[in-house]
Amino acid sequence: MDLGIGGRTALVMGASRGIGRGIAAALAREGARVAMASRSRERVAEAANGIEGETMPFEADTDDLDRLATLPGEIVQALGPVEILVTNTGGPPLGAAHDHELEEWERAYRSLVLAPRVLTEAVVPGMRERGWGRIVNVGSSSVVEPIPHLTLSNANRMAAVGLFKTLANEVAGDGITVNTVAPGRFATDRLASNWGSWEEMERSAAEGIPAGRLGQPDEFGDLVAFLCSDRAAYLTGTVIALDGGLLRSV
Minimal CA–CA distance to 48: which of 58, 62, 39, 61?
A: 58
Q: Is the pLDDT of residue 122 over 80?
A: yes
pTM for the whole thing?
0.95
SS3 172: helix
Q: Is the pLDDT of residue 93 over 70?
A: yes
Strand partners for 141: none
What gap in Å lies between CA 139 and CA 172, rounded to an integer? 20
Q: Is the pLDDT of residue 189 over 80?
A: no
| Cα atoms found within 13 Å of the Cα of residue 234, Cβ hemisphere only | 1
SS3 51: coil
For residue 1, the model assigns a pLDDT of: 76
136-155 burial, b for 16+ CB within 10 Å, e for fewer?
Answer: bbbbbbbbbbebeebbbbbb
136 to 2, 42, 96, 97, 192: CA distances (angstroms): 19, 25, 28, 28, 25
Strand partners for 136: 86, 179
The per-residue pLDDT for range 124-134, each reduced to its tens digit, is 999 999 999 99
What gap in Å lies between CA 109 and CA 88, rounded to an integer? 14
> Which residues 6+ apart lie within 8 Å of 9 measured at CB?
32, 33, 34, 35, 75, 79, 80, 81, 82, 83, 84
Q: 132 near 171, Cβ under 8 Å?
A: no
Higher local confidence (pLDDT), 152 or 197: 152
Range with lowest mean pLDDT among 29-43, 89-103, 111-125: 89-103
The per-residue pLDDT for range 161-173, each reduced to its tens digit, is 999 999 999 999 9
In one-letter notation, the amino acid at residue 237 is G
Q: 31 near 4, Cβ under 8 Å?
A: no
Minimal CA–CA distance to 35: which of 111, 66, 51, 234?
A: 51
Spell out the domains of the chain, with CATH numbers in brackets. Answer: 9-241 (3.40.50.720)
For residue 133, the model assigns a pLDDT of: 98
Q: Is the pLDDT of residue 191 over 90?
A: no
